[in-house]
Amino acid sequence: MNVDAPSGLSCVHADDDLLVLDKPPGLLCVPGRGPDKQDCLSTRAQALWSDALIVHRLDQPTSGLVLMARGLPMQRALSRIFAERRVHKRYQAVVAGLPQPDDTADDEGWSAIALPIAADWERRPLRVVDAQRGQPSLTRWRVLDVDRALGCTRLELEPVTGRTHQLRVHLAALGHPILGDMLYANAAQQASAPRLLLHACTLEFAHPLHGRRCSYISAAPF
């Protein structure tokens, strides 16, 4: 099911247990500080499903699939499978430059970025690669398409861990920031896109109640 709900939400799936919503770029997942940050995905969802609860988040400028629970027991069950890394997530991004698969690449073209990420407390909300303080972080990536004329590349991304800003930090550390990234790209790379070109395309997991495989897809809008 894919429904444009009256509140402006795009609902990919809804049942008595869970919701899968397609978040637009620029919308917070949960309320922020201040009256201008109260409009968010969870508030809009709760206007239609009063028991809707957040399970995970996307950054405000990132678009794509967000899973929500219907009620506290399901929130706990879904949060558990996220914590146990039993939710398969994939993203697409357009990055600056032409990244090349490295010696970690497998037969399907997947390379790995394994760099520890820590909060940059003096420049919050930035995150940095920090070998001493950082949490272990792993991202898998492969090339989908190359635009040599524009000097950019479309990547498929799989965050094995789920650190804040992980994909953005790892790609910037690789030397290929995501276009439109106002935190980790340079001024020219920021200006080359009208938004952060990062979209959560795929969610797959075994339903925590009955074990059936759930799979949801959202095509990247860029």
How confident is the chain (222 residues) per 10-residue block, as mean pLDDT? 60 96 96 81 95 96 98 97 95 97 87 96 91 96 96 97 96 98 97 98 95 96 96
- What pLDDT is recorded for position 1? 45
Q: Pick left, alpha or beta for residue 210 (phi over 0 → left; psi -120 to 50 → alpha; otherwise beta).
A: alpha
- What pLDDT is recorded for position 107? 87
The CATH number assigned to the domain with range 90-198 reads 3.30.2350.10
Residues contacting 143, CB < 8 A, separation 6+: 99, 101, 109, 153, 154, 155
Measured at the alpha carbon of residue 52, what is the angle toward residues 47 and 58, in degrees to the nearest 5? Answer: 100
Q: Model's pTM, two decimal places? A: 0.93
**How far apart (Å, rounded) are the C-alpha atoms in residues 188 and 183?**
13
CA atoms within 13 A on the CB side of 136: 2
**How far apart (Å, rounded) are the C-alpha atoms in residues 51 and 60?**
23
**How far apart (Å, rounded) are the C-alpha atoms in residues 124 and 111?**
29
3-84 has CATH 3.40.50.720 classification: no
- What pLDDT is recorded for position 181? 98
Domain ranges of the chain: 3-84, 90-198
Q: Which residues are catalytic?
A: 59
Answer positive or negative: Cα dihedral of 167, 169, 174, 176: positive
DSSP 178: B
Contact 66, 200 (CB under 8 A): yes
- What pLDDT is recorded for position 104? 81
Domain 3-84 and domain 90-198, same fold? Reply is yes
Residues contacting 146, CB < 8 A, separation 6+: 98, 153, 154
Which element (helix H / strand E) includes 83?
Answer: helix 72-83
- What pLDDT is recorded for position 5? 52
- What pLDDT is recorded for position 34? 76
The two tokens of residue 200 are: 């959560």
Contact 179, 193 (CB under 8 A): yes
Among residues 199, 202, 205, 190, the alpha carbon closest in space to that of 220 is found at 199
Which element (helix H / strand E) includes 113?
Answer: strand 111-114
- What pLDDT is recorded for position 27? 95
- What pLDDT is recorded for position 7? 60
Measured at the alpha carbon of residue 26, what is the angle toward residues 196 and 80, in degrees to the nearest 5? Answer: 90
